[in-house]
Structure 1
Amino acid sequence: MKQRPPARDNGRVTSAVPDLAALRPRLPSPLQHVEDGRFARRGVRLLLKRDDLIHPELPGNKWRKLELNLRAAAEAGAHTLLTFGGAYSNHLRATAAAGRLLGFATIGVIRGAELADKPLNPSLARCAADGMRLHFVDRAAYRRKAEPETAAALRERFGPYYAVPEGGSNALAVQGCTALGRELHGASDVVAVACGTGGTLAGLAAGLAPDQRALGIPVLKGGTPHFLAAETERLQYAAFGGRRGTWDLDDRFHCGGYARRTPELDAFAADFEDRHGIPLERLYVAKLLLGLTTLAQEGAFPPGSTVTAVVTGAPTP
């Protein structure tokens, strides 16, 4: 296991409960109607829930998943946040930014020990610039991240910390994402979101009205049935004590797996950007919209339906 020192000193950290309102999140996030002939020809209305506009550094589901965790960390007197992710994790970037903005030290446990000796990619470079201490582990060790022995070793190495799981998905994150569903009451028949860990889908479905359905589009391979079905249900049990809302998954649009892209996906994203002037983040949002467009053309949505796509992030600069 190797680690890289922080890019700068975060300074003295206080344990006061952070004033998240001072960050001025844009809530509820805007709801944008998109005129797209591929939907209109089927009598379907397409809306975009622009969670990417909530905050420039904590966009989308990252704000919703981190908010209650940040409050809990501060209330517990924690000075340090420790979390996990891959080399291109949007969650790591959001956690690092939250640490800088709110006065927490941050540690990112990164999958891939071989990355320690390579130049940082733009995503990890941004984490380091925000003060995150990067700790690289091999993939076998990373798979053991949830084991008590791993937590004990990390605490021995780094001292006390508040742990946020990979992708930020835990019971508090799921509870935070219910607000997304509540903001869409009466606005849509189907609300779709790209899924990496299942936390946003779990909270979204719980927050929707009884006559609304949530649809998850996994961005990584998961086998049959997709492992995210069980994980989403587990998260709902952890957050609410049982399954909540109406939700399902369509796992046909991962384009080869996490962070994988295909010529079809790139061509679709470029065409969507040309049509609507909206830049698409490729790892999640483009796959989501490719899935919804395909489903519309397959006749999956009855005429007269309104379908909302949750835009969870913006392209990396």
Structure 2
Amino acid sequence: MTATIEQQLNIVTPSPVQRLKVNWPGSEKLRLFIKRDDLIHPVISGNKWRKLKYALSGAIDNGVTEIISFGGGHSNHLHALSYACMELDIRLIALVRGDYSEHPTATLKDLQSWATQIHFLDKKTYARRTEPDFIRQWQSAYPQALIIPEGGSQKQALAGVGEIYTELTEEFDAIVTPVGSGGTLAGLITAQPLSTLIGIGVLKGEGYLERLVTDLLPGGILTPWQILHRFHCGGYAKVSAELTTFCQDFNRQTGINIEPVYSGKLFFALQQLIAGDYFSPGSRILALHTGGLRT
């Protein structure tokens, strides 16, 4: 019997749902839960696996030996994809925003150790990453390569993300998730849960993030959703002293590790929303831990 891609990569699903026990002001009025997608895999965790699942399984089925993808120097997407490609014997060509050749991040050091071919692009060039001419240029250079968009966010990712909802055994009034490239929120919306979906923008992108999500959505979707934009702490990978302290306190209080780029901003936002009576008393709230602990 041929091993599934989950078996090949040692992916563990479904991820557990646990009570979130915190002593935040107002939290006693609510029932808080956390879906531990960070436990899916030590490296290919959370929404990174969800968004890559069907792209990678399709690549294996079609005999793909090269993949091109995009991200910054701290990209959790590239980190997860690089490890998966190493395990699946696929060469990854990573197009990275900014020149880190003299001072590679921990993420990029891992990519190098996993035999990823890295190309550093200046910000102006990287900004063209979705333009057809730019895509054709790289497809011409690597004619056999599969191109996966930044963050893994593409229509093919929606089904993998939607499996988050199918794993739930009970309903929640609201599901809260971080938003960076839009694929996770779009996948949850497509699954059409009964819950209200709340995205926490982790970068400066009011309007931009909404467009990323809506561009991925099929028609006829009625699930209510919104993205809140006041918790990005200055932008992508920007960290305030308040956020750093919050993450440290959360780790100590719950025993659940979070980082300041994605999951930290999610739970920081949740704390602030609860303090401001954003949710009706008695509401059942599910926070999605999307992994990405390596920053």
Which range, TM-score by smaller chain?
over 0.9
For 2:160, the equivalent position in structure 1 comes to: 176
Code of the aligned partner of 1:260: K
For 1:217, the equivalent position in structure 2 comes to: 200
Q: CA RMSD, aligned part only?
A: 1.9
For 2:277, the equivalent position in structure 1 comes to: 299
For 2:30, the equivalent position in structure 1 comes to: 44
Code of the aligned partner of 2:124: A
For 2:248, the equivalent position in structure 1 comes to: 270
The reply on whether 1:35 has 2:21 as its aligned counterpart is yes
Identity of counterpart residues, as a percentage? 35
Cα deviation per residue 1:202-222 (whole Å; 9 max; x = unaligned)? 111222532x11110010001
For 2:214, the equivalent position in structure 1 comes to: 233
- Unpaired runs of 5+ residues, structure 1, are 1-15
For 1:13, the equivalent position in structure 2 comes to: none
The reply on whether 1:63 has 2:49 as its aligned counterpart is yes
The reply on whether 1:82 has 2:68 as its aligned counterpart is yes
Q: Distance in 2 between matches of 1:19 and 1:50?
A: 21
Q: Distance in 2 between matches of 1:71 and 1:221?
A: 33
Q: Distance in 1 between matches of 2:158 and 2:25?
A: 30
Contact in 1 for aligned 2:76/2:294 (Cα 8 Å): no
Q: Distance in 2 between matches of 1:94 and 1:296?
A: 32
Contact in 2 for aligned 1:195/1:219 (Cα 8 Å): yes
Provide closer, same or farther for how the CA distance between residues 196 and 144 of structure 1 changes in structure 2, counting only shifts above 3 A: same
The reply on whether 1:23 has 2:9 as its aligned counterpart is yes
Structure 2 counterpart SS, 1:37: coil
For 1:106, the equivalent position in structure 2 comes to: 92
Contact in 2 for aligned 1:272/1:278 (Cα 8 Å): yes
The reply on whether 1:144 has 2:128 as its aligned counterpart is yes
**Bigger CA drift: 175-184 or 34-43?**
34-43
- Unpaired runs of 5+ residues, structure 2, are none
Provide closer, same or farther for how the CA distance between residues 166 and 234 of structure 1 changes in structure 2, counting only shifts above 3 A: same
Code of the aligned partner of 1:152: R
Q: Distance in 2 between matches of 1:66 and 1:194?
A: 17
**Bigger CA drift: 261-270 or 148-157?**
148-157
Structure 2 counterpart SS, 1:171: coil
Q: Distance in 2 between matches of 1:150 and 1:242?
A: 32
For 2:290, the equivalent position in structure 1 comes to: 312
For 1:3, the equivalent position in structure 2 comes to: none
How many residue pairs get aligned? The number is: 294
Contact in 1 for aligned 2:173/2:196 (Cα 8 Å): yes
The reply on whether 1:54 has 2:33 as its aligned counterpart is no
Q: Distance in 2 between matches of 1:54 and 1:28?
A: 8
Contact in 1 for aligned 2:19/2:34 (Cα 8 Å): yes
Instruction: With the length of structure 1 as denominator, give the TM-score of the two structures.
Output: 0.87
Code of the aligned partner of 1:308: L
Contact in 2 for aligned 1:39/1:46 (Cα 8 Å): no
2:78 to 92, 95, 98: 92
Provide closer, same or farther for how the CA distance between residues 311 and 54 of structure 1 changes in structure 2, counting only shifts above 3 A: same
Q: Distance in 2 between matches of 1:268 and 1:286?
A: 8
For 1:4, the equivalent position in structure 2 comes to: none
For 2:184, the equivalent position in structure 1 comes to: 200
Structure 2 counterpart SS, 1:126: helix
The reply on whether 1:246 has 2:227 as its aligned counterpart is no
Instruction: With the length of structure 2 as denominator, give the TM-score of the two structures.
Output: 0.93
Structure 1 counterpart SS, 2:63: coil
The reply on whether 1:133 has 2:117 as its aligned counterpart is yes
